[in-house]
Structure 1
C-alpha cells in the first residue's frame, strides 16, 4: 500500500482496497475480474481525483454506508455487507465508470451486481458500445488447517470464522462459479435479465466476473517470523491460489509464538471485523505524541496500540471467557521510517483451540461432508428438508453448523426430487418469533440449494 493510500480516511482506504487488493485465486481464464482492468480504473486520473476528494470530504461515502445500515436495520454493518456496499459505491459513484443501470441482489439467484455500461474502462472487453456485466463479489478469510502434508488443496483452507458451517475455500469457489453460470444457464434468471434490461440473447454480450478478496492465514508454527512467507518446500500450494494473494498467520499458542517470531518493539491492535480490509497505521492520540491509536470513523471506534505483553494478556482473557470464543484478528505494527507513527507489517489470527479437525483424529471437514453426502444419496429430498426444519424449530442456533454441513453435502448429490414445501411452512411460522430470526438467511440458502427459490424484485437500481 502506498503512503498516500495508507494515510487516507479509513472508509476511503477500504474503498480503494476493494479494487486494488489481489484476488485470492489465480486469474486463469476470464472468470475473475482481471487485475489489469482494476488497474485501469485505479490509474484513471478521474478516479484518482475522486478518491482524493473523498479523503478531503468523506461525507458522501459515509452517508451511503449509513443508508446501507438503515436499510438492514442494524446498529452496525457486518463485514460482508460492508464489503459489498463498498463495491456498490464504486459502481454507483466512481465518475470513471460510465454505468447507466445497476441492479443489486436481484432475481431468483440473488445475483450480486448486474449493470450496463457504455464507455471506458470496459470497452476493451467486447467489441460493442454497450456492455452488460455481472459481478459476484465476496471477501473471505481462510486458515490453512491441514499443513501436515507438503501438498495442499483448496479444501485444506477453512473459513476463519469457524462458525460459517465449516466452509472451505473449495466450497466458496464452487458457489461463486455456480452464480456466474446462472446468467447463461438458468432459464428463470435469463428471463428476468431479458425483461429488466430489455435485451434478447441474440444482441447482448454479458460478462460475468468474480471479485474474491481477502486473506489466507498460515500456521505461525511453520514460519520463521510473522513477516516471512511459507516456503514451498514446507507446503506446496494448489495452482488455483494466486501467488500474490494477501497472507497472514495464525496461532493457538499466542505467547510462545509471538516471543519467537516478533521483536519486543512490535505493537499490536486487536481488529474488529470492519478493520479486516485495508492495512492500518497509527496516529497520535489527543495531540499526545507519546500515545498512538488507530483512527476509526463514524460508528467505528478508534483502536489502542498494545505491547506484546498486553496483547498476550488480552488474548488470555478473551479465550478463557468461553470455550467457544471466536478468533481474534490482530495487526502487528512497527515504527515507521521516520519514527513518528506505527505501520502494519503483518496480519494474524489467534485461535483458542483449532476446531478445524474433529477431535484429535485429524478427521477433516471435507471427509465428514463426503460421508454425509453418502447418506443423503440414498434418501429422498424430503428427508433433508425434515432434518433442517427440526434444527430450526428445536434449536436456538447452536446446531447451525450441522444444518450448513447438510446443505454443503447436498451439493455433492445429484437429486431431482427435492421438496422445499416444509421450508416454506417453517418460514411463515418463524417470522413472528424474533428468537428464530437467526435462521432466515439459512432457510433462504436451503430453498436455493433445494431448487425452490422464487423470483424476487431488485432491491434498487439506478
Structure 2
C-alpha cells in the first residue's frame, strides 16, 4: 500500500488533510535531514489502527471540524498545527503533553516549541512542524541546492527555513530556560516537514541532481508562467486552489466536476493579468472506491498540481534564490 492509497479514500477534506499530514512522504531525507524525522505511526499495527481511527473520523468529522474550521485559522501553518494537535489529543497512539509553548527570557521571546508528546514506547518527543511548498528555480547542469527552492511569493527559501529549524527551533527544548517551565526532559527533537516541490514544466531530469537533504520520493508538481500555461493547457480542466486546500489532493463529485469547464474559463481570464502565483489542479474523470471498497463512479480526481506564475516571476525568483 502506498502513501496515496492511505490518503485518497477519505471523503471529508479535513480528514483527508490530516491523513496527508500523517502519511504523505517527508520532504527531507531521513539520512540527510540533519536531525531525526518524526514518525506518527512507526509499526504496521500503528499504521493500521491510525487508518481505522481516520475511517471512523471520516464518518463523523464534526469534532474535528469544530477544532479546525474556525475564523482564526486563515494561515496554512496554523491549520496544519490544529490538525496535528487534534491527532495527538484524540488519536490512538501518542499522548500530547503540550503544544505551542512560548519560550521567553528577560521579556524577550526566544521562540515557540510546537509539540511535546510521549509515544507508546515512552519516548518523550519534541516535534517541529513545517508544511512548505517551494518552486525550484535552479538553472544549468550543476547540482541543485536547497537555496534553489523558493516560496511562490518570494518571502521564503528552503535553505533558510531548514537552517532555522536545525539551528534554532529544535534546540529550544534543550535550553535551560525551557527546563524552568516545568516540562521534564530530556526531549528528543524531531523534524516534521511535509509539503510539495514544484519543477518547471514538471521537469523530471533533476532526479540525479537533487539536493542531498531531499527525500527521493518527495511530492512533486509543475510550474509554468502564465503565457506557458495558456499555450499548453489545451482542453485540460483546471481549478484554482485556496491556500487551505494546498495539502491533500481533492476528489470532486460528478456535480462539482460539471463546474470545471466554467472554472477553467474563469481561470484563463484571471491568468491574463496575474499579479502573483496561484496554485491550480488539473482534473480528470475516473472511477474510484472509498475506504470500505465501495465503487464510486463519476468522480473527478487530480491529474496533476502546479503553480501558474506571472511572466516576470522567474527573473525575480532567480535573484531571490541568489
- 1:3: Cα distance to partner? 7.5
How far apart, CA to CA, are the structure 2 residues paired with 1:282 and 1:40?
A: 32
Alignment CA distance shift 1:146-1:258 (3 Å): same
**Which residue is 1:318 aligned to?**
270
Aligned equivalent of 1:269, options 222, 239, 242: 239
Range that drifts further, 243-252 or 332-341: 332-341
How far apart, CA to CA, are the structure 2 residues paired with 1:3 and 1:212?
A: 18
How far apart, CA to CA, are the structure 1 residues paired with 2:129 and 2:45?
A: 18
How many residues were matched structurally? 302
SS in structure 1 opposite 2:181?
A: helix
Greater share of strand residues, 1 or 2? 2
Asked if residue 170 in structure 1 is aligned to residue 153 in structure 2, the reply is no
**Which residue is 1:23 aligned to?**
26
**Which residue is 1:144 aligned to?**
136
Greater share of helix residues, 1 or 2? 1
- 1:170: Cα distance to partner? 0.5
**Which residue is 1:213 aligned to?**
194
**Which residue is 2:149 aligned to?**
157
Q: What is the TM-score when the length of structure 2 is the normalising length?
A: 0.83
**Which residue is 2:300 aligned to?**
342
- Give the conservation status (yes or no) of the 8 Å contact 2:7–2:20: no
Q: Which string of whole-angstrom CA distances, capped at 9 and with x for unpartnered residues, describes residues 268-320 of structure 1?
A: 221111111001111132xxxxx626xxxxxxxxxx4237xx63x43442244
How far apart, CA to CA, are the structure 2 residues paired with 1:42 and 1:65?
A: 27
**Which residue is 1:230 aligned to?**
204
How far apart, CA to CA, are the structure 2 residues paired with 1:113 and 1:315?
A: 37
Structure 2 gap ranges (5+): 105-109, 289-296
Asked if residue 181 in structure 1 is aligned to residue 133 in structure 2, the reply is no
How far apart, CA to CA, are the structure 1 residues paired with 2:100 and 2:45?
A: 23
SS in structure 2 opposite 1:91?
A: helix
- Give the conservation status (yes or no) of the 8 Å contact 1:155–1:170: yes
Q: What is the TM-score when the length of structure 1 is the normalising length?
A: 0.59
Alignment CA distance shift 1:292-1:149 (3 Å): same
How far apart, CA to CA, are the structure 2 residues paired with 1:114 and 1:170?
A: 23
**Which residue is 2:116 aligned to?**
115
The RMSD of aligned alpha carbons is 2.7
Alignment CA distance shift 1:3-1:211 (3 Å): closer
SS in structure 2 opposite 1:205?
A: coil
- Give the conservation status (yes or no) of the 8 Å contact 2:114–2:127: yes
**Which residue is 2:294 aligned to?**
none
- Give the conservation status (yes or no) of the 8 Å contact 1:31–1:210: yes
Q: Which string of whole-angstrom CA distances, capped at 9 and with x for unpartnered residues, describes residues 160-201 of structure 1?
A: 233x2xx211011011112112322x4xxx33334322x3xx
How far apart, CA to CA, are the structure 1 residues paired with 2:276 and 2:36?
A: 31
Please give the residue correspondences for 1:425-440 in structure 2 after superposition, counting only pairs within 5 Å: none
Alignment CA distance shift 1:3-1:146 (3 Å): closer
How far apart, CA to CA, are the structure 2 residues paired with 1:4 and 1:141?
A: 19
- 1:340: Cα distance to partner? 1.7
Asked if residue 246 in structure 1 is aligned to residue 219 in structure 2, the reply is yes
